[in-house]
């Protein structure tokens, strides 16, 4: 068994912040991801950060689709630039993109920072969805494909009935052999 953790984001304080964020009505997934990462970061730096007030401010976090990088016509501010803005230019999204389950697990294990995943929402009508991976568990059994389970935060679109908590969920076990996120994932890095 192998665990990968974004340590600060796996704390009781981080989980409480995730619950708070999931209660904000009408919050898009990109702002929820950025708000959670920024709130936990700012808290760990000992800096006050009014994440609920900021996330409700449509001037700072307008509704609409947004890319990882860069800004695109017809889209809102990209996630990386929003992270920089919300953390005093201390963290952003890395340039590389990960697709395979194993590569995402290994990157989080190596760097101990969260990874923002872009995927299809549970219902096709909802389009693409962002979730922030803060923990994963990989299980290896001889002569079998490795299995992986992801733990993530989002705006409440995914629900978990297994005690993980509001705004947090975990996946079922998945095979790592050919498992990938078609739309990719980017890790959070220090500037």
Q: What is the pLDDT of residue 116?
A: 97
Q: What is the pLDDT of residue 65?
A: 83
- Pairing state of beta strands 115-120 and 128-139? antiparallel
Tokens of 162: 């297994």
Q: What is the pLDDT of residue 159?
A: 66
Q: Within 10 Å of residue 53's Cβ, how many Cβ atoms? A: 9
Q: Flag whether the pTM goes above 0.85.
A: yes
Q: What is the pLDDT of residue 165?
A: 67
The answer to whether the Cα torsion of 94, 158, 136, 144 is positive or negative is: negative
Q: What is the DSSP letter of 188?
A: E
Residue 122 contacts residue 130 (beta carbons within 8 Å): no
Q: What is the pLDDT of residue 164?
A: 61
Residue 38 structural domain = 2-190
Q: What is the pLDDT of residue 134?
A: 97
Collect the ranges in the chain with pLDDT lower than 50: none
Number of domains in the chain: 1
Q: Could you give phi then psi for residue 124, rounded to 5 degrees?
A: -55, -35
- Gyration radius of the chain's alpha carbons: 16
Tokens of 75: 């889209």
Q: What is the pLDDT of residue 162?
A: 61
């Amino acid at each position: 068994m192998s665990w990968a953790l974004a340590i600060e984001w796996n704390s009781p304080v981080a989980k409480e912040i995730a619950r708070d964020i999931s209660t904000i009505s009408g919050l898009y997934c990109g702002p929820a991801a950025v708000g959670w990462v920024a709130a936990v970061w700012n808290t760990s730096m000992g800096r006050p950060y009014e994440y609920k007030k900021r996330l409700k401010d449509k001037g700072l976090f307008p509704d609409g689709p947004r890319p990882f990088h860069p800004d695109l016509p017809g889209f809102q501010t990209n996630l990386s630039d929003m992270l920089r803005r919300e953390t005093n230019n201390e963290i952003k999204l890395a340039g590389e993109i990960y697709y395979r389950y194993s590569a995402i697990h290994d990157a989080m294990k190596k760097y101990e920072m969260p990874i923002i995943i872009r995927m299809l929402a549970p219902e096709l009508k909802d389009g693409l969805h962002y979730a922030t991976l803060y923990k994963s568990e990989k299980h290896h059994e001889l002569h079998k494909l490795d299995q992986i389970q992801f733990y993530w935060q989002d705006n409440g679109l995914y629900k978990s009935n297994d005690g993980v908590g509001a705004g947090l969920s975990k996946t079922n076990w998945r095979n790592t052999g050919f498992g990938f996120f078609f739309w990719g994932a980017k890790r959070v890095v220090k500037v």
